[in-house]
Amino acid sequence: MQQSFEEIYTQYSPQVFRVCMGYINDPAQARDLTQETFIAVWQNLSSFRNESKLSTWILRIATNNCLRALEKSKRMVTTDLPFDIPLPHEETQEEKLAFLYKCIAELEETERIIISLLLEDLPQAEIATIIGLTEGNTRVKIHRIKEKLAVKFRDHGQFE
Amino acid sequence: MDNLNDLKKIWLSADTSGLPDTATIMRAICKYRSQKLIKKAALILAAIFLTAVMISVVFLYKSVMISTRLGEACIIGAGLILVFTNIGSIGRLYNLKSLSNKEFIAYLEQVKINRAKYYRKTQVIGLSLVSLGLLLYIYEGVRLYLWLLLASYVFVLLYILVMWLVVRPRVYKRQAKKLDATIKEMKRLADQF
């Protein structure tokens, strides 16, 4: 079991870390949440019954962990963007990523989870399974989140 | 958004090299499990130890008064309640699997009901037994000197009153407040879906 757990950890930990980053916007806390997620995965691996994909199951644990990180979320960065942001000439990849995290941090908790899963390239049906919504509701939510992000990015001078 | 693919590229560029390796995560898992276990096990062991001490006192100290024997029985009874309650709580802790948020709210609601039941019944019985046990047990040892008798009973009564009227309600209130806040927060999150 340990060998298979190691393989699972190596394969899925970057994905879980990115989803946690989308929620918490703090690398140290995202690492803690990733660790907590895999503690839960390890504890429950024997009860995993292949009823869903392993990635769906792991991300479901991760998203539940994120949503339950109540104390940590109080410290989360949710500051509004400055009103008059100068247009960047050539943003580095890190700056672009930081801006993306900042935009996601301004969404509601559950919206943060949904967009993180979408950016992980998960199909909408799988996202619906993870968060426990119907596919129709998930589609509507995703559409609204995309609109919100589009406005933020347009205001920032991107995606004209 | 037409540029979702661009966002995905940015998203996937996140540096994940700082994540702990598998050996570290395995150590963390072992530590996490042992920390949880040690905390509960320490409480159970302490309760077993105190109960065993009381049982050994029954055999080592040949009391002459029935009140002492009754006191010993009450304290042993309270110790056993503490032991069995905590063994039950370890079982519940390990039965908690990775639940969905709705199931987690239901679990928290059940914890809330269990705590209220523990506060109203189990804890009342346990604390009553300890209080009565202490009052009965010390009588034989202090009865010969009036000043010692008075001082001992004033001290024990004050201790019992503080436990009943201050510590017990305060601890329960604090725990209930924390649990209520968690349930409220979980429901708020569930409402977002």
Tell me, yes or no, whether A160 lies in a domain: no
Tell me, yes or no, whether B4 lies in a domain: no
Q: Does B185 touch chain A (CB under 8 A)?
A: yes
Tell me, yes or no, whether A13 lies in a domain: yes
The domain tally of chain B equals: 1
pLDDT at A80: 45
Residue B181 has pLDDT above 50, yes or no: yes
Phi, psi of B35 (to 5 degrees): -60, -45
Question: Cβ separation of B10 and A39 shorter than 8 Å?
Answer: no
**Helices A27-44 and A54-68, interaxial angle, to 10°?**
130
Question: What confidence tens digit (pLDDT) does each residue in A16-57 have?
Answer: 999 898 888 888 888 888 988 888 888 777 667 666 778 888
CB contacts under 8 A, B 99-138 vs A, are 99-102, 104
Residue A73 has pLDDT above 80, yes or no: no
Q: Indicate the pLDDT class of residue A134, thresholds 50, 70 and 90.
A: confident
Instruction: Answer for the pair A143, A150: CB distance below 8 angstroms, yes or no.
Output: no
Tell me, yes or no, whether B128 lies in a domain: yes
Residue B182 has pLDDT above 60, yes or no: yes
Q: Does B189 touch chain A (CB under 8 A)?
A: yes
Question: Cβ separation of A120 and B11 shorter than 8 Å?
Answer: yes
Cα A94 from Cα A103, distance rounded (Å): 14
Token representation of residue A3? 């060998």
The domain tally of chain A equals: 1
ipTM of the shown complex: 0.77
Residue-range definition of the domain harbouring residue B173: 22-192
Residue-range definition of the domain harbouring residue A70: 2-155
Instruction: State the average pLDDT for chain A.
Output: 78
Question: Cβ separation of B7 and A149 shorter than 8 Å?
Answer: yes
Instruction: State the average pLDDT for chain B.
Output: 82
| Conformation bin of residue A57: beta by default, left when phi > 0, alpha when psi is -120 to 50 | alpha
Tell me, yes or no, whether B6 lies in a domain: no
Q: Determine the distance in angstroms separating the CA of B4 from the nearest CA of chain A, rounded to an integer.
A: 8
Tell me, yes or no, whether B14 lies in a domain: no
Tell me, yes or no, whether A40 lies in a domain: yes
Question: What confidence tens digit (pLDDT) does each residue in B123-145 have?
Answer: 899 999 999 999 999 998 888 88
Q: CATH number of the domain at A65, please.
A: 1.20.140
Question: Cβ separation of B25 and A35 shorter than 8 Å?
Answer: yes
Residue A75 has pLDDT above 60, yes or no: no
Instruction: Answer for the pair A66, A98: CB distance below 8 angstroms, yes or no.
Output: no
